[in-house]
Structure 1
């Protein structure tokens, strides 16, 4: 009788692990097409251009902001490299040169300009998106 209880528990654990693994695989498959990867300008330099939508983060380089109607051109920097960005639309109120930004969109493989669909600006002087802060520290050699 004792062997039977152990066998039942073993099958229960195996079944639960299989169910969890299946649920995880389904979740990853469902999110795989929706996932947006984060890059800093240094991450893109000298590498093949991603074809899927990505997030480009860093600081808006001072002196790089140019507006023409609803089209905005600016450069994102991580203090080591820069990347040109084009955005058509209304920018967030807190968007400024020298401030943190994350732009979501795609890189044109020919012109190598990042075309943003969405631009997110930081919300106060102390906050920086964790991905941007991590990339900036990584470039500056401060990551331990």
Structure 2
């Protein structure tokens, strides 16, 4: 449903983006498994990876992109919130969850991210509600329920 454009088919021009997304998914899942298996490594080590990715991102940005600074209070606040939340704190929280948390619950709750973000986009008027979004939400909820079935039994 996501990459098929709601029934319109896959756009071949978007294939590089799909492949990058697949690479990100494999990288993140690999990181998560390694984090769990290396529980003895302190969570503070995440700082090294965050710094390395920030440096690499800055270098690649300077080489390939035009710098556009945020405009106004909302722009700067949004950039700060992204840096502190999903790009910063989220890595630490995920690491703690992977090392000391309930993996099954964490995986199940991860299904909520795309559902909640899409809901926010609809609520603020950036995305239009549609039957394909409703079906996608139902499929995400079904995936979460399927992932949580062992927890329900316990």
TM-score, length-normalised on structure 1? 0.25
Greater RCO (CA < 8 Å, at least 6 residues apart): 2
Relative to its length, the structure with more strand (as a share) is: 1
- The structure having more radius of gyration, on CA atoms, is 1
TM-score, length-normalised on structure 2? 0.24
